[in-house]
Amino acid sequence: MLADDHAILRETLRESLEAETDFSVVGDVSDGTRAVELATTLRPDVVLLDIDMKGIPAAVTVRRLHEVSPATRVVILSMYDCADFVRDMLALGVRGYLSKGVSRQHLVSAIRAAMDDNQAVLVSVTSDAGLALLPVPQGSDPLSARECELLTLVAQAMTNRQIASRLSITEGTVKRHLRNTFEKLGASSRMAAVRKAREAELLQPESPYL
């Protein structure tokens, strides 16, 4: 199900998704209230939800969608991809947060991944944000936007000092985030974390450092 206040975008998304043999768009709406109403009846597998629509706030929409259709996976598709928005939506239990700048291929892959039963959490935003498409292994806590960002920089062989300078944070903060990331990935070192991420296909194939 599509929820976006731009009719042309909904039409484009419908055409793109229905070109996939295993996809069917069961409905599209232009606001959060209608999204909740339709989900109550249709119980869609996935809702692609914009966070900047008229009516009820996106956070309320997500909560209500989970209430009326618990099995529905909510994937955010938005032009806003700053870390705060990403963190807020992930905290509400969405299965993905995608920038509207993602390719059709990434969107399709993200929807399929959201349908997996491994509780993957996907983040795919602009390259400026330093984030990659990162599913989180089953049984682990979702990686935060900052942890995703640091993992991407670690994969580029940047040192803690370089990462701290790049992100305008302290080296101590970098180390703390990396410890959390390693624990979630079940890794004991920087190299192990990158290796596990690559083996699990947690980093985008087209990334120049792969």
pLDDT per 10-residue tile (average), the chain, 210 residues = 95 93 94 95 96 88 94 90 74 85 82 72 55 44 66 84 89 87 76 70 43
End-to-end CA distance of the chain: 34
Task: Report pLDDT for 203.
Answer: 52
Task: Report pLDDT for 101.
Answer: 79
Task: Report pLDDT for 186.
Answer: 72
CATH class of 137-204: mainly alpha
Task: Report pLDDT for 145.
Answer: 63
Task: Report pLDDT for 180.
Answer: 80
Task: Report pLDDT for 120.
Answer: 57
Judge whether 165 and 176 are in contact, CB under 8 Å. Answer: no
* Domain 1-129 in CATH 3.40.50.1220: no
In this structure, are strands 46-49 and 122-124 parallel, antiparallel, or unpaired? unpaired
Rounded CA-CA distance 2/45 in Å is: 11
Identity of the amino acid at 129: A
Instruction: Give residue limits of the domains in the chain.
Output: 1-129, 137-204
Q: Cα-atom radius of gyration of the chain, to the nearest Å?
A: 17
Chain centroid to CA 204: 13
Instruction: For the chain, give percent helix, strand, coil, nearest 5.
Output: 50, 10, 40
